[in-house]
Amino acid sequence: MNNPHPIRKTPSQNSSIANVLIVDNDPRLARLMLEILARKGIRGIIAETADAAIHSLEKADYSLVFTSDRLCQRPGDPETELNVLKLLDNIKANSPEMPVIMLADIDKNQAANLRQAADVAVRAIKAGCCEFLLKPPDPNRIETLLDTLLPGHPIRNCDSAEEGLRTLYRIVGKSKKLLQTINLAKKIAPTSIPVLVSGESGTGKELISYLIHHNSKRTGEPYIRVNCAALSDSLLESELFGHEKGAFTGAYAQRKGRFEMAHGGTLLLDEIAETPIKFQAKLLRVLEQQDFERVGGNDNVKVNVRIISTTNKDLLEMVELGEFRRDLYYRLSGVRLILCPLRQRTDDLPELVWHFVNLYARQALRRITALDPSMMDIFAKYNWPGNVRQLRNVVLTSLVLGVGETLSLADVSWLFDELQPRTQEMSSTLAAVPCTNLGLGGIPLVQVEKQAILDTLRQTAGNKTQAAKVLGISDRTLRDKVRRYRRQQEPQPVG
């Protein structure tokens, strides 16, 4: 299948180029704006009407829109104000965080026109514009706005790709472990071997899966994702295999499943460890034979699908505990990629922070020129249980709630407290473990861990979220351990 919009690799040393939409039919303004954007390394696209602008917004990723206060739907159209409102309403509905700057064509030398400008400015702000400028705009003012809304701090990408004016994926970092994972992913991408991507929540497993698909021979074909953790046993079967009309209550028409939708391409089974054990046998058969029957149907559906699975659990441990089928594990893990947690790739922290500043500064309307060294020191020492996803939220919160051109935690005291290392709390928790049964040989570490967890749960009145925070582990890890303790306490059958 030929791709009409070829994938382009962006330079690994630079952030990707931002796109700005200029909605105006004045060639002199267009020339001025394009020259300013070019000096800043920003790509400018011109749309002369509201409809053309709306169409362009549907087809590409934009970071900023400049629009005239007078937009003609066609030459001689008198309803210019309605056309502007149509565009602004569309942006507000589909991209509410998109900054929009209105450019008004009003003579600044006449008092009556200045009053008119004030009225237009009020209407523009009420319609969602973040700034209002008179034509011709001051180039210095435009550049200041671009620096604030579209910072272009250089970052290092391990890998990235664009298709047309859309960014397909971008993996930020320079650490050795991340580069090793990227190189292995690219090596196996051209094959159809099944891949199991393991790693803690928030490490970017789905991003790596997307990279594999777009570097494979199946690029341009469907890339379908199903979240196995979000569906029950019965829903999972219908979602993956589809159903026939009348198969169950509410099945009013035939529906294709994700396997059928992914034919010729890639199917991502996200959080595969969450599939019920009974369903795993059905899944294994489909993976082996690449055919199935829709729920309530008799016709055999043949597919050709590459399988990528992700998990934040130790599947081998689950196999040993009888919680995951051994044969399915070996079918899924043709190649296993392991994403290391953020705490093991602290070299990437500055790159990631600047990356998120580039992405979210436009939401905060705040110019950032430096990172507070004390903040970065806290970041380097913190455990990051939520990994890159947690770092993204921390940067966004600091951007929105802070002030000044230096990004810091000084104005977000609760965030500062939350990011303090938990080692001291963990040590005091372990110190509280009763030592009366230690004996000469001590007790196994697993028993110390169990006692620490149970004591902490008692101290937090059974609040697992609070206990996990005190212990410095994730909610999911704590719940898994508690379930394991309960199974160990269940009476074993006498045979």
At 29-58, the pLDDT tens digits run 999 999 999 999 899 999 998 899 999 999
Q: How many CA atoms lie within 13 A of 131 on its CB side?
A: 21
Q: What's the rounded Cα separation, in Å, for the pair 69 and 85?
A: 9
Tell me what the pLDDT averaged over the chain comes to: 83
Q: What single DSSP character describes residue 481?
A: H
Which one is predicted more confidently, 430 or 189? 189
pLDDT at 335: 95
Instruction: Characterize 456-481 residue by residue with b for buried, 16 or more Cβ atoms within 10 angstroms of its Cβ, and e for exposed.
Output: bbeebeeebeebbbbbebbeebbebb
pLDDT at residue 198 greater than cutoff 80:
yes
176-338 matches 19-149 in CATH topology: yes
In this predicted structure, which of 114-123, 152-161, 285-294 has the lowest mean pLDDT? 114-123
pLDDT at residue 110 greater than cutoff 60:
no
Instruction: Characterize 66-98 residue by residue with b for buried, 16 or more Cβ atoms within 10 angstroms of its Cβ, and e for exposed.
Output: bbbbbbbbeeeeeeeeebbebbbebbeeeeeeb
pLDDT at residue 6 greater than cutoff 50:
no
Q: What single DSSP character describes residue 221?
A: B
Please tell me which of 172-186, 229-243, 275-289 the model is most confident about, judged by mean pLDDT.
172-186
pLDDT at 132: 86
Q: Are 54 and 92 in contact (CB under 8 A)?
A: no
How sure is the predictor about 13, in pLDDT bands with cuts at 50, 70 and 90? very low
pLDDT at 413: 83
CATH of domain 19-149: 3.40.50.2300
pLDDT tens readout for residues 142-153: 999 999 999 888
How sure is the predictor about 130, in pLDDT bands with cuts at 50, 70 and 90? confident
pLDDT at residue 14 greater than cutoff 60:
no
Let me know if 186 is exposed, middle or buried by CB neighbors in 10 A (0-12, 13-18, 19+).
Answer: middle
Q: Are 75 and 48 in contact (CB under 8 A)?
A: no
Which one is predicted more confidently, 251 or 278? 278
Let me know if 482 is exposed, middle or buried by CB neighbors in 10 A (0-12, 13-18, 19+).
Answer: middle
DSSP letters, 353-401, are HHHHHHHHHHHHT----EE-HHHHHHHHHS--TTHHHHHHHHHHHHHHH
How sure is the predictor about 331, in pLDDT bands with cuts at 50, 70 and 90? very high
In this predicted structure, which of 13-22, 188-197, 210-219 has the lowest mean pLDDT? 13-22
C-alpha gyration radius of the chain: 28
Whether domain 176-338 has CATH 3.30.420.40: no
CATH of 427-489, one of 1.10.10, 2.60.120, 1.10.238, 3.30.70: 1.10.10
pLDDT at residue 318 greater than cutoff 60:
yes
- List the domain boundaries for the chain: 19-149, 176-338, 344-418, 427-489
Give the residue-averaged pLDDT of 419-427: 57
Please name the fold of domain 344-418.
Helicase, Ruva Protein; domain 3 (1.10.8)
pLDDT at residue 8 greater than cutoff 60:
no
Give the residue-averaged pLDDT of 107-132: 69
How sure is the predictor about 377, in pLDDT bands with cuts at 50, 70 and 90? very high
Give the residue-averaged pLDDT of 211-221: 94
Question: How much is the pTM?
Answer: 0.75
pLDDT at 195: 97
User: Alpha helix locations (H) across 254-307?
Assistant: 258-261, 277-289
Count other Cβ atoms within 10 Å, centred on residue 127.
16
